[in-house]
Structure 1
């Protein structure tokens, strides 16, 4: 896909909104990326600068053609900060001064520590990088001291590489040139949220946060699933682990970044009320919290016409083939369902390139269960071309926020069977204040339960009156509450309010931030 050449900061013109995207737009399709692309296109009279926080400097292919109102694209390479010179005067004093705030960030710190690190780096930005901060003898001595203090019983080798990975992301985020914008809008916490905190401190401009899922919860799932983090860790099932280990290092660091982001942002937006309890627990000011649900193009999706041609009963999982989507449960559910519906077609509609190893594992399960003629990996597709040929969709994820696919399929009259994560129950069963109640738009199942998933899909496929009732309910619910036209108006009001705000003081001392917290 070709696109215009876009300047990076600081050469790009000042944008109305700087969007901070970690591991998603514009290089990863679906979900949050689709939401972001639609947000930009919906506000064509505003200019946007996109900061893409990616793992490394490898060549990437755009998953979206950037709209004309995107005026700049900056990359942050989390695993590869700027190199900097071979030698930096005063490197020993710098690393000694950095040691305290860096250690506190690995143990649940927050905005004061980010401000302190920024203050120490600010005068040297453009003249310092990983050669001094990660590869020098002074940096090594700093890490030795931090290990002894934070994880004295851990393997130093494990701490060294774990801490290095975390500090690489931190320094990459804090050293890249800052794009100029009137508002900075992070679409997650993590490193994107850390960038938002930096932008607020350095520029004095407002920062916004939209959390689709709770980043720290999703990272917790990934960290607990990461086998390499368990080497040397206490893997017992005891209710309380006595010793802090490498997992805690990662979890506490990302909790620190979330706290910094929450404190720096003027508005903290999430998709449904259930997420706000997690945000409050992690230190978000309740006065900043706002619920703005996802919206979809109801007018477009509601025009999808059912394909009248004869075809087998068809289900679909729509999404990336990655572990957090638990595609394996969907495949096993299809195997159970095929026992009653031999001609079943179970489509997998979504990108296959993000985690090739996991895709191969899924293909192996398909082959082992003899499902080669049943389960079909279609890759990335145009959803409106498929929804007219699908009777029900399944969402087997272990973590979600407010899945667009439930809304998109629902607007087309296609019911969903989804795991009880995020707002799935609210989308399918209705909010407590829904008046009048519309009824079920599908079914909700426990996590990692192929049997329950298969049972609910069987009911939708074989009981036509039930499927029709669910179809009508979910289509009406989307029309009432999740039409993107109304949601776009809400975001425009938020942008206009914060664009109009005056500049505020920049980069206060860490001590001042602590006194004000």
Structure 2
């Protein structure tokens, strides 16, 4: 079977949980062929982070930033119908259900010569003018025009790219990748499987609410827009999987049909992790395996480390992971380290995580949003207790999904650095508790979160939907 995997800003250019998940899926299913459709905001300039498996046929990139230098011819008129204009309008807040088939067919046809030209056309001007007249009469037209253009440009550029033909489309999020999965199904009448590692719409909503560059009256438009994209993916998907039960319930709340949903937890190769090879170092060593980006809330972690340092002056801190994804945020973190007078801290950048799991005493995660973090599974597999914020499935991993293994660490509210510090200090001062928690976590991962379990579950989905397509072709 040939499978097209669709991902935003991830594989093979960015390390992290989703990229590792994609790599594991391909390497564990050598009988299938894969095409990666990778959507990113900028040109990664060939900085590939993962070796290509032999069954990876192609990585097809949509680097959205590269289109911004294309020449634009403004003021054109296109032969589009009122129904097609209504479909455009509904995507950006027209208050009606979007006619996605009509929109897909229009954008991929040869009737629009350039997305950039269309967004500078008289037709698009009319669409924005209608939106202002019907819903936002008090908003300056110029502000609305440029805001809407920046909103829909990435989406329309994605749809405008030629979709590779495959036997099954598998998107690893909603958003743009989810809409492309819907487009693949629409164009080729092949099954579409959607896997959400985190709830995309909720993550975008949090970012939009906090964003200073989006004016107040535009925030609702942006939020509705991303919910609209998710509903497109939910509508077209044959099956929608999540990583844990609460995530599944949120999908249903947002608008996904319950009968389409199922849960497939993440899994890791537990044979790679050997707690018996760990070697203690003198003192207390506290680490975080994390990308230095805002959603991981590194600043809260640093504030907690400052309190830990007051209680345990000799404690060592390690931030293990890349810091070049958001250079401005990384600079802000370094400034915070200095202002907090935080010592004994190392930002490792890209590193061999296993080198650090071999001696760390406590692991920490302070994210404001997560799905089911692979880094927690890996840390627990090495017998290291975790202190984490209560996001995604973190509490389930630490406390157990109604199993008998016991606690594997502590869970605290988001952004509560005092609570985070308190739990880190408690573990740092109690070696026996660390050993008990670490063993509990190791047993939980070995029983419930293994790579073979995860792969078998996805393999069954591929076979099910592939068989359904075969039967349809035979009987029709």
TM, length-normalised to structure 2 = 0.94
Runs (4 or more) in structure 1 with deviation over 4 Å come to 79-89, 108-112
CA distance in 1 between counterparts of 2:255 and 2:40 reads 27
CA distance 1:342–1:32, shift in 2 (3 Å)? same
- Look up the match of 2:292: 321
The answer to whether the 8 Å contact 2:363/2:384 transfers is yes
- Look up the match of 1:397: 367
Tell me the SS of whatever aligns to 2:49: coil
- Look up the match of 2:418: 451
> Is 1:141 matched up with 2:126?
yes
Aligned residues: 472
- Look up the match of 1:502: 469
Tell me the SS of whatever aligns to 1:386: helix
CA distance in 2 between counterparts of 1:162 and 1:56 reads 20
1:46-445 equivalence runs, <5 A:
46-57=32-43, 59-79=45-65, 91-94=77-80, 96-107=82-93, 112-124=98-110, 128-229=113-214, 231=215, 233=216, 245-302=217-274, 305-308=277-280, 310-371=281-342, 373-432=343-402, 434=403, 437-445=404-412
| 2:441 aligned to which of 448, 468, 474 | 474
CA distance in 1 between counterparts of 2:185 and 2:471 reads 9
Higher RCO (CA 8 Å, separation ≥ 6 residues): 1
* Shift in Å, 1:123: 3.1
Tell me the SS of whatever aligns to 1:324: helix
CA distance 1:228–1:337, shift in 2 (3 Å)? same
CA distance in 1 between counterparts of 2:350 and 2:44 reads 22
Tell me the SS of whatever aligns to 1:61: coil
* Shift in Å, 1:391: 0.4
Tell me the SS of whatever aligns to 1:181: coil
The answer to whether the 8 Å contact 1:263/1:284 transfers is yes
CA deviation digits over 1:66-119, x for unaligned, max 9? 222111122223456696995999x34327553211221223879852212113
CA distance in 2 between counterparts of 1:504 and 1:198 reads 22
The answer to whether the 8 Å contact 1:205/1:504 transfers is no
* Shift in Å, 1:278: 1.1
Tell me the SS of whatever aligns to 1:67: coil
Gaps of 5+ in 1: 1-14, 234-244, 506-517
CA distance 1:149–1:88, shift in 2 (3 Å)? closer
The answer to whether the 8 Å contact 1:187/1:212 transfers is yes
Tell me the SS of whatever aligns to 2:184: helix
The answer to whether the 8 Å contact 1:331/1:375 transfers is no
The answer to whether the 8 Å contact 1:314/1:346 transfers is yes
The answer to whether the 8 Å contact 1:79/1:172 transfers is no
The answer to whether the 8 Å contact 1:96/1:142 transfers is no
CA distance 1:111–1:148, shift in 2 (3 Å)? closer
Gaps of 5+ in 2: none
- Larger deviation, residues 479-488 vs 373-382: 373-382
- Larger deviation, residues 61-70 vs 132-141: 132-141
* Shift in Å, 1:150: 3.4
CA distance in 1 between counterparts of 2:125 and 2:66 reads 17
Tell me the SS of whatever aligns to 2:167: strand
CA RMSD of superposed structures (Å): 2.3
